[in-house]
Structures are given as C-alpha cells and as structure tokens.
Amino acid sequence: MDKSFLNLLFEPKVRSPVLVQGLPGFGNVGKIAVHLLIKFTGARLFAEFYSPFFPDYVTVDSNGVCYPPRYQFYEASLEKTDFVILTGDTQPALDDVVAHYIVCGEILDFLSELDCNFVVTLGGVPSVQPSREIYVAASSSRLAVEFMERGAIIYGKGRILGAAGLMLGLAKERGWDGVSLLGATTGLQADKGAGFALFKFLVKTFGGEVKEGL
C-alpha cells in the first residue's frame, strides 16, 4: 500500500453532520469518550480508512482475526444533530509531521464530500489533580465563550498535539468552525473517569441527557 484509501461500507444518511473525533492520545480520554458516544447513540460503522502513514503492526481481535491500523467512521444522530464519529487504533508517529498533515487533510477532504463544516475533537490535557474539568479551545473567540458558558474552561497559552489539535487548525483554515474539548487527566493510564466526564459534557452540549449508571 503506497497511499491511503477509504473503504466505504455504505452511503451514510447524514445532513450537514458534525464531526466528533476521538483517537488514542493523552490518557486515551478522547477515544474513551467517543466510544461511549458510539454506544449511547447506537452509531453505525459506514467507512474505514487505511494509510501507509500508520504504524507497521496488526491488531488481533478476540476471535484471533487480525487487521492493519485503521480509522473508523460511524454515522449517528442526537436530538436534531447528525454526527460523523471518527475513532481508530492509532495516529501517525508524533515526529512524522508531514504524515499528520496528509492524513488530516485526507480526512477533511472526505468530510467535505458529506457537507461537514463543524468539527469537535476530543482529547486529554495534563493535570496534577484533575477533578473532571473540561477545557475548550476553538476556531473563534465566539465559540470559545459559548462553550465556556456551558461549563468548559478556556484552554489558553498551550498546545494541543496530534490530530486533536491539527484537525481543528486545518478545519479552521478551510473556513470551518470547530472546538477541541479536553478532559483533565494525569495521563498515567487510560482515564475512564475523564473520558466519561467529557462524554457527558459533549452529549449535554448537543441537547441530550446521560443518565447516571450508563
């Protein structure tokens, strides 16, 4: 495989969807949150993305079946909003800057075909004593304030590494709106608590309600 390719399983029935992206990262907060969203909405897998920029290994499932690293796209809806949910096994190596730009650009090209122009990236942010805070960085000050009024804390004077940051930045360059929502975590291990807090904030933001004990 010398270039990325998309395996479309079926045409999604979404209208001007919001991208929600949660990939492996700091504390795996984004990936945990997005998998909770997939379960909560009953999302359906509609496409898989493979790339030579992903690491050279295969993942083996519980049945002993292997597959190369991939991103997965799900269609879902919540209240009056349609979503394309993006998750996956990995990201390009942090030191391969070109790979990150190429993969994020290819993802955004695909999303533009689905009439998507708003992105929500999910991730974790380092904290010595996290208490389920949610931080926000946005494509505009208007959006930052809007999400702050919903309970998030402005994430200022920092960096957001990997796809959680770059996807938002490249989307903004295309004239899209978007936010990055970051759950506070020590990052010492997969933080299910931070992931759940981020998931609840996201659902509430788009008009849903998460019952305790989910």
What is the C-alpha to C-alpha distance for residues 108 and 100, in angstroms, rounded to an integer? 12
Residue 214 belongs to some domain of the structure: no
Q: Is the pTM of this model over 0.85?
A: yes
Residue 211 belongs to some domain of the structure: no
Tens digits of residue pLDDT in 45-100: 999 999 999 999 998 989 999 999 999 999 999 888 999 999 998 999 888 999 99
Residue 167 belongs to some domain of the structure: yes
Residue 185 belongs to some domain of the structure: yes
Residue 210 belongs to some domain of the structure: no
Instruction: Please give the tally of structural domains in the chain.
Output: 1
Which residues span the domain enclosing 107? 5-9+16-205
Locate 50 and state its tokens.
Answer: 């493979």
The CATH number covering residue 21 comes to 3.40.50.10900
Residue 53 belongs to some domain of the structure: yes
Residue 22 belongs to some domain of the structure: yes
Tens digits of residue pLDDT in 10-45: 999 999 999 999 999 999 999 999 999 999 999 999
Q: Is 119 left (phi over 0), alpha (psi -120 to 50) or beta?
A: beta
